[in-house]
Structure 1
Amino acid sequence: MATLQVVSPAEYRSARLSLLEKEKEATRVLDTLAAERRKLPAVEITKPYKFTAVAKDGEKKTVSLSDLFFGRRQLIIYHFMFDPSWDAGCPSCSVMGDSFPALEHLNSRSTSVVAVSRAPIEKIDAYKKRMGWSFPWVSSYGSDFNYDLHVSQDEAIQTIEYNFRDKDELQKAGQDYFAKGEQPGNSVFYMRDGKTGEQGKIYHTYSTYSRGGEHLINTFGWLDMTPLGRQDGESGHGGLGFRRRDEYTKDELKGLH
């Protein structure tokens, strides 16, 4: 619970201007990081990954990684936690799903966005309809994709790694809970447009995991402006502490007290 310190308008203005300078500095640091991120080297993707999607007529179809670009140069994938045995997607990932922007703005910058999960497409499509989402979402069920991008952990299939730490490093950091099952993340890919003679080649340029994609959840941005903040740990729910938006009770929607 936040403790409000009540002061005069003049004292408030002075304190706010001091914080504003720090906010501006943080913005400049983020700009510098974004520039460095764009300079990262890339790794060519040569494995022919296959996914299952739902066509406009409602029928299932098999698509490739290149198909997920929808003819654009860039692709951002959100690794949505949805194990094949689950009946619904992860509640915390669902908060991210609620935060997806109007994709037209990204499309106008030659960027496509697709969610990928290991659950069968039938479960994905049913959950997508339940939540009222319209963003593209495909199944990687039966593919190595999730394991190669280190968002599904199974030592029988792929070496354990999460957030660029191997199993031993995760255990030493007390983060061995990341060494099994489904995990969230974002990955970025770039496709050559043919001007260099390498048309169709796909490159993995960036991935971020754990809290690395947290800034994309707009709910946090709104709460971070408030005196109470995110109220972490107060809801009694796991993960990020939120329910799926259609599961809140009337009392919960009154807020935490």
Structure 2
Amino acid sequence: MIAVSRAPLVEIERFRSRMGWQFEWVSSNSNSFNYDFRVSFTPEEVATGHIDYNFGQWRETGEEWPGVSAFFKDETGDVFHTYSTFGRGVEVMMGTYAMLDLTPKGRNEAGGMDWVRHHDRYENSPR
């Protein structure tokens, strides 16, 4: 598995190490990947008052929106785009949400989720 982030790779590696993650990360920070897949938008696009996101026009705007894509690289090195989902569809990839939905407070979205922290940011966690 490879995960992608817009953060510079040096920041990703620092965070990956802190979290103890073993899977490889890549960064779309210095290329147009997120714009090509219509999950990042230029200030000019945002200024129009609508964006082309999730196969439709959205009146809500912002420079970043959620999206998950999957690719397959065959033995010859050819890369195939096999899947994409946007908006609420990305929740499938967020195991934390599925677990929180089983708890008494759920996601606690009415009051924000500031009580949810990384594993090393709870008061009694080893650092």
TM-score of the alignment, normalized to the shorter chain, above 0.5: yes
Tell me what 1:181 maps to: 63
C-alpha distance 226-236 of structure 1, shift in aligned 2 (>3 A) = closer
C-alpha distance 224-128 of structure 1, shift in aligned 2 (>3 A) = same
Cα deviation, residue 126, structure 1? 1.4
C-alpha distance 141-216 of structure 1, shift in aligned 2 (>3 A) = closer
1:141 paired with 2:29, answer yes
- In structure 1, stretches of 5+ residues that fail to align are 1-112, 194-198
| Partner Cα distance (1:236, 1:139) in 2 | 26
| Partner Cα distance (2:55, 2:122) in 1 | 35
CA contact (8 A) 1:118 1:141 kept: yes
1:222 paired with 2:89, answer no
| Partner Cα distance (2:100, 2:44) in 1 | 41
| Partner Cα distance (1:226, 1:118) in 2 | 31
Cα deviation, residue 192, structure 1? 4.3
Over the matched positions of the two proteins, sequence identity in percent amounts to 42
C-alpha distance 191-126 of structure 1, shift in aligned 2 (>3 A) = closer
| Partner Cα distance (2:123, 2:110) in 1 | 18
The RMSD of aligned alpha carbons is 2.9
CA contact (8 A) 1:189 1:204 kept: yes
Cα deviation, residue 137, structure 1? 0.7
Bigger Rg, which one:
1
- In structure 2, stretches of 5+ residues that fail to align are 46-50
Tell me what 1:246 maps to: 120
> What do the CA deviations read for 1:108-149 (whole angstroms, capped 9, x no partner)?
xxxxx2111222211111122222222111122221112111
Tell me what 2:48 maps to: none
| Partner Cα distance (1:189, 1:162) in 2 | 20
Structure with the bigger RCO (C-alpha within 8 Å, sep 6+) is 1
| Partner Cα distance (1:235, 1:246) in 2 | 20
C-alpha distance 222-124 of structure 1, shift in aligned 2 (>3 A) = closer
SS in 2 for 1:205: strand
| Partner Cα distance (1:222, 1:118) in 2 | 26
Q: Which residue identity lines up with residue 55 of structure 2 in the other structure?
A: F
Tell me the TM-score normalised to structure 2 length.
0.71
CA contact (8 A) 1:235 1:242 kept: no
How many pairs are equivalent? 120
Tell me what 2:53 maps to: 162
